[in-house]
Structure 1
Amino acid sequence: MKTRAITGFFFIVVLIGAVLLGPYTFVSFFSLVATCCVYEFYRMVRTESVQPLLLLGVGIAALGFGLVSFTLLALLPYSVLSASIVAVLLLYIAALFRKTRYPIQDVAYSLFGLIYAAIPFIFFMGLGFVGDSYNAYIPLGFLILLWTNDTGAYLAGRSMGRHKLFERISPNKTWEGFFGGVVMAVVAGFILSHYFGVLPLWSWVCMALIIGVFGTFGDLVESMLKRNVGVKDSGNILPGHGGLLDRFDGLLMAAPLVYLFLKNIL
């Protein structure tokens, strides 16, 4: 428990620092995190019968995030992102040269790794640029709402949890915890609207609801993935917490939806 608490504290400090230190640090740090998540995904699903194109997939993720970062920072035109699409097509060609038993399955897992573990981070990084210039308070607010939802769900589930949410996927999650997390996130949204501003109150509340609901689903989907491949944690890079995917599972589903919501109201 002590190791988990210490790791969690420094992990949060690093994330907050990465957001507040400016756009270059923000996009560089989360590009690195996302690339590591892709690598973690490939390592997690790899078996004798499943052989994703690990090096090529991670390389495409790194290239894609490099192009996305430069595009968000207005250093490259958006048209340059088409290079990422061409790079993805290399997965099909590369599979022709590998002597694996199920090449199409390998390509499918390789593509799914990019869709599942990489693309959501592009939307999260985009949260910092939904306005005319970089604004750290929106991605920071997103993270705070995500952490608040997790904390509220844990506390409510431990104290009042009786009715299982998806027992076959995650035996410890309950409906009471789910609603407790959503309520606590909404309360945090009210507080953020007062101290952060940037967005009107109703927007922060809507963000909290999206994160509370779909952040939980993101957590459940990652649990389903781990059960499918028979692992307890996605990795061991964070002592006491598992892997990066274990820490960002809620972001993977909530970030794209929050981004699309904000782009439609701003």
Structure 2
Amino acid sequence: MSDLHSINEAINKRAGRKLLPSIGVSLFLISLVWFSLASYRVIFAGLVTIAVILGIRELHHALTTTKIDIPQWSLTTAAVALSAAAWFGGVSGLSVATAIAFPCLLVLLLPRGTEGFVGTASASALALIYLPFLAGFLILLARPSNGLARVMTLVVLVGCNDTFAYLTGVLFGKHPLAPKISPKKTIEGLVGSLVFTVIGGSLAFHFIMDSDWWLGAIAGLVTVFTATAGDLIESALKRDMAIKDMGNLLPGHGGIMDRLDSVLFAAPALWLALEIVRRAQDSGLL
């Protein structure tokens, strides 16, 4: 037992995370996503909205360390509106709602005066696009009748990327991928995630999506790029604000945004890939 404890502590130290709580939280979140999609898909849209609202709260708190005060309640209202627009209006609804929400946010900042307006307006725009807009593509993935399969395919892709980047990085990582942004990430971890996410994507498209395996391999490649980029971008934000995590709500992960970072960037890419495949099939090209 002491040997297992020592191994676990060594892994935690090298990875910078507590492994067992992280696994437990991940399994719980996957179960919650599956249950919501398997029962009533609109519940999943509600869960996404709640996650976005919590993410806005975390980002608001983090930005206050840099003396930037984004309008939390205005962004929360925008998050609810964008989520509803995505669910009821599809990608067109999401796009129009975002176009309306952006100038509204700027107008609501005017009573604060001109001091710090550029910084606050820029941070508010970042928050609007980063959270409710990108998260809207999670809702778009869940809208069709095969929403369960589409979202669970995303879960497999992002899960393979995160898990095998973590494992191969811990076991074999020696060469930093982006030392100034995220010192724990390694080139070996990236290679591991690339190999296993391509395999996972191929299997997911074949068995879950009932589609060609090679489309899943391509989706795996795209997911590695987008999910890793999302992770690095959030790391860059945290490093600039001199914080380790966006929050502490999820044991072993940090905050909601620490869990959403890769998903937010991977979801639009997968949605676009599935749309291209659907239209190609409808036109007889596939």
Q: Is TM more than 0.5 here? A: yes
**Which of 25, 33, 37 is matched with 1:7 structurally?**
25
The corresponding residue for 2:119 is 105
Which blocks of at least 5 consecutive residues in structure 1 are unaligned? Answer: none
2:112 aligned with 1:88:
no
2:248 aligned with 1:233:
no
The corresponding residue for 1:31 is 49
The corresponding residue for 1:124 is 138
Q: TM-score, normalised by structure 2?
A: 0.83
Deviation at 1:173, TM superposition (A): 0.7
Which blocks of at least 5 consecutive residues in structure 2 are unaligned? Answer: 1-17, 279-286
Q: TM-score, normalised by structure 1?
A: 0.89
CA RMSD between the two structures: 2.2
Aligned residue for 1:172, secondary structure, equals strand
**Which of 228, 241, 251 is matched with 1:216 structurally?**
228
Q: Aligned runs of 1:71-220 on 2, under 5 Å?
A: 71-72=89-90, 82=96, 84-99=98-113, 101-129=115-143, 133-220=145-232
Whole-angstrom CA distance in 1 between matches of 2:93 and 2:85 = 10
Aligned residue for 1:97, secondary structure, equals helix
2:84 aligned with 1:66:
yes
Deviation at 1:261, TM superposition (A): 2.0
Whole-angstrom CA distance in 2 between matches of 1:258 and 1:173 = 24
Whole-angstrom CA distance in 1 between matches of 2:79 and 2:172 = 42
Report how many aligned residue pairs link the two structures: 260
| Runs of 4+ with >4 A deviation | 77-81
Deviation at 1:103, TM superposition (A): 1.6
Aligned residue for 1:143, secondary structure, equals helix
Deviation at 1:140, TM superposition (A): 0.7
* 1:236–1:198 Cα change, 3 Å: same
Q: Is the 8 A contact 2:157 2:220 kept in 1?
A: yes
Whole-angstrom CA distance in 2 between matches of 1:174 and 1:100 = 43
Q: Is the 8 A contact 2:37 2:44 kept in 1?
A: yes
Whole-angstrom CA distance in 2 between matches of 1:191 and 1:86 = 40
- One-letter amino acid of the counterpart of residue 128, structure 2: L
* 1:231–1:123 Cα change, 3 Å: same
2:74 aligned with 1:56:
yes
Deviation at 1:81, TM superposition (A): 6.5
Deviation at 1:84, TM superposition (A): 4.8
Whole-angstrom CA distance in 2 between matches of 1:43 and 1:100 = 22
Instruction: Name the one with the larger helix percent.
Output: 2
* 1:235–1:194 Cα change, 3 Å: same
Whole-angstrom CA distance in 1 between matches of 2:94 and 2:269 = 24
